Amino acid sequence: MDDVDRQLLVLLQQDASRPYAALGQAVGLSAGATHERVRKLRERGVIRRTAVDVDPAAIGRGVLAFVMVDSTKWVGDSGDQFAAIPEIQEAHVIAGSASVLVKVRTSTKEQLQDVLRRMYAIEGVSGTQATVVLETLFERPVTP
C-alpha cells in the first residue's frame, strides 16, 4: 500500500468507470500494471466493491435524520432487527448514554415518525432522540 495505491483509490472513488489506460497515465503506470494494482487492492479487501452512487432525493428519500436509541437492555445484538427497517441506512453501537445511533432516510417527516414507531417495537428499545438534518454540507468518500 504505497502512494500509487492511495492515488488509485482516490481516483476510483471519484470515478470508477475510467479506463485503466487513463488511470495508469494519471499515476505513471501502464494499463496492465494499473490493472494488476487494482486487482490486488480488491483481493486484499481494500476495495470492497464497485457501486453506483444514487441521489437519495431522487428516489424519495429527501428527509435525513440521526436517531439516538436508548434501551433498557443490551441491543447490540439486534442488528437484524434494525436492518429489517429499510429506511435505516446505518446502525452503530455507541459509547455514551444512548446505546445505538442510526441514520435514517425517509420521504417525509410522517414516515420518519413511523420509523421511530417501528424502532420502539424492537425488544429493549426504551426511547429515541431524533435529530433532523436541515442541510447536508457535504458527504464524501474517506480519503486514503
Residue numbers at the binding site for its own copies (CB under 8 A): 1, 6, 9, 12-17, 44-56, 58-59, 61, 64, 66, 76, 79, 82-83, 86, 89-96, 98, 100-101, 105, 131-144
Closest among 56, 57, 62 to 110, alpha carbons compared: 62
Cβ contact 75:125 at 8 Å? yes
Cβ-based nearer residue to its own copies, 50 or 110: 50
Stated length of the chain: 144
Map residue 22 onto helix, strand or coil: helix
Q: How far is the CB of 37 from DNA (least distance, A)?
A: 5
Q: Does 28 bind DNA (CB under 7 A)?
A: yes
Say how far residue 62 (Cα) sits from the centre of its chain.
Answer: 16
Cβ-based nearer residue to its own copies, 48 or 121: 48
DSSP lists the bridge partners of residue 66 as 103, 131
Q: How far is the CB of 102 from its own copies (least distance, A)?
A: 9
Q: Does 76 bind DNA (CB under 7 A)?
A: no
DSSP 70: E
Residue 21 interaction partner, one of DNA, its own copies, none, beta carbon < 5-8 Å per kind: DNA
Q: Is the dihedral of CA 118, 121, 122, 125 positive or negative?
A: positive
Q: How far is the CB of 124 from its own copies (least distance, A)?
A: 14
Binding site for DNA (CB under 7 A): 4, 17-21, 24, 28-37, 39
